[in-house]
Amino acid sequence: MKIAVFAGDGIGAEVVAEAVRVLEVLDLPGMELIEGDVGGAAWRKHGHPLPQQTIDIAHAADAILFGSVGDFDCDHLERALRPEQAILGLRKELTLFANLRPATVFKGLEDLTSLRPEVAREIDLLIVRELNGDVYFGEKGTRTLEDGRRQGWDMMSYAEDEVRRIAHVAFRAAQGRSGKLCSVDKANVLETSQLWRDVVIEVAAEYPDVELSHMYVDNAAMQLVKNPGQFDVVVTGNLFGDILSDQASMCVGSIGLLASASLGETQTQYGTKGLYEPIHGSAPDIAGQGKANPMAQILSAAMMLRHSFGLEDQAVRIEAAVASALADGIKGGDLGGSAGTRAIGDAVVSRL
């Protein structure tokens, strides 16, 4: 069980330390942790946010536990050298095209979300975000027009096979949940989205047991706060999924709670190879202060045990410990409490 641990920048190291502590307490036989440098930290040390030795560690590992990357001091660098290229590069290099971002309201937090409790209480959804395509990975650039104005441009596209493979992941996820799938796009304006919708409908023929609906992304953003309980599995493209998942995090209380799994088709002897990270970033505004909520990172480790190592019982054990800590009122500043990163980690560890 080789686990690559890439802590990255800002609060990354702080929250990863707590997730690693949880894994170590579980005392899993044969677990080996291999650290690697990513992001601004890697750029400072090796001159690149995703050095070759880190890529080699990622290839050799069965799963990757990823913290976060991002450092405002690096924002002047050419794009290829910016910290974010580490996570984008790993997703592409390992063909991790399916990003699962679950959002559920924990017991005791119903009054602490950005929604009314009776609205928030109903949330139990899974965003299936495509992770290898869209405007993220199209050609891009800046140019000067004939009249001298500067123009920035980014090419948005999806090929049908890219849509088909994420659609299959989403339909299968819906089969394992309530059998409802909502595909979110902007087909009223974008050709990319029209193809997305057409292909999702084609794939639906193979899943007659799943009830498929479609929604435009602007409406979806509105419905997510109006009546989030209507959603079960949501499948969407890279950019829309990025935005909707941050929004979903506040519907359940905090961005410090949302975990994610990024999966492809590679199978190891234990399960599906994947990368596991919180949906939040390096939070430079609170980095180094011991204030970050490590729960999203700890829950990402739980997802890793489930998807990459087939250890469902251990995953549930971690999730139950997090839920119990929250139910007992252990909350970080993100939830209006005063518990620090280490104290939250202690609370989870003591409930395992």
Ligand X SMILES: CC(C)[C@H](C(=O)O)[C@@H](O)C(=O)O
Ligand Y SMILES: NC(=O)c1ccc[n+]([C@@H]2O[C@H](COP(=O)([O-])OP(=O)(O)OC[C@H]3O[C@@H](n4cnc5c(N)ncnc54)[C@H](O)[C@@H]3O)[C@@H](O)[C@H]2O)c1
Catalytic (active-site) positions: 136, 186, 218, 242, 246
Q: How buried is residue 284: exposed, middle or buried, by Cβ count under 10 Å (0-12/13-18/19+)?
A: middle
- Binding to Mg ion by residue 84, rule CB under 5 A? no
Q: Which of residues 314-333 bind ligand Y (CB under 6 A)?
A: 332
The annotation status of 27 as a binding-site residue, yes or no, is no
Map residue 146 onto helix, strand or coil.
Answer: coil
Q: Which of residues 263-282 bind ligand X (CB under 6 A)?
A: 279, 281
Question: What number of chain residues touch ligand X (CB under 6 A)?
Answer: 6
CB-closest chain residue to ligand X: 84
Measure CA 318 to chain center.
18
Q: Which of residues 299-318 bind Mg ion (CB under 5 A)?
A: none
Contact window for ligand X (CB under 6 A) among 33-41, 45-53, 81-89, 344-352 = 81-89
Map residue 115 onto helix, strand or coil.
Answer: coil
Q: Count CB atoms within 10 A of the CB of residue 25.
A: 14
**Cα–Cα distance for residue pair 86/53, rounded to 1 Å:** 12
Query: CA separation (Å) from 196 to 157, 243, 330?
Result: 10, 18, 42
- Name the one residue in this structure whose structure tokens are 């942790």: 33
- Binding to ligand X by residue 298, rule CB under 6 A? no
Q: For residue 2, what are its two tokens? A: 């080789």
- Shortest distance in whole angstroms from residue 76 CB to ligand Y: 13
Interface mask toward Mg ion for 234-263; x: CB under 5 A: --------x---------------------
**Cα–Cα distance for residue pair 217/130, rounded to 1 Å:** 14
For ligand Y, the closer CB: 18 or 110: 18
Which residues lie below 8 Å from residue 111, measured CB to CB, with a gap of 6+? 117
- Binding to ligand Y by residue 292, rule CB under 6 A? yes
Contact window for ligand X (CB under 6 A) among 24-32, 83-91, 157-165, 289-297 = 83-91
Which residues lie below 8 Å from residue 334, measured CB to CB, with a gap of 6+? 253, 254, 255, 256, 293
The annotation status of 288 as a binding-site residue, yes or no, is yes
Out of 242, 264, 318, 335, which residue is the one contacting ligand X (CB under 6 A)?
242
Map residue 73 onto helix, strand or coil.
Answer: helix
Interface mask toward ligand Y for 8-27; x: CB under 6 A: ---x---x------------
Residue 159 in contact with residue 268, Cβ under 8 Å?
no
For ligand X, the closer CB: 136 or 207: 136
88 interacts with, out of Mg ion, ligand X, ligand Y, none, CB within 5 to 8 A per kind: ligand X
Q: Count CB atoms within 10 A of the CB of residue 30.
A: 8
- Binding to ligand Y by residue 73, rule CB under 6 A? no
For Mg ion, the closer CB: 110 or 242: 242
- Binding to ligand X by residue 184, rule CB under 6 A? no
Q: Kindly state the helix (H) or strand (E) to which residue 346 belongs, with its residue range.
A: helix 341-350
Q: Which of residues 87-106 bind ligand X (CB under 6 A)?
A: 87-88
Map residue 282 onto helix, strand or coil.
Answer: coil
Which spans of this chain sit near Mg ion (rule: CB under 5 A)?
A: 242
Which spans of this chain sit near ligand Y (rule: CB under 6 A)?
A: 11, 15, 68-70, 84, 87, 255-256, 277, 280-286, 292-293, 296, 332, 334
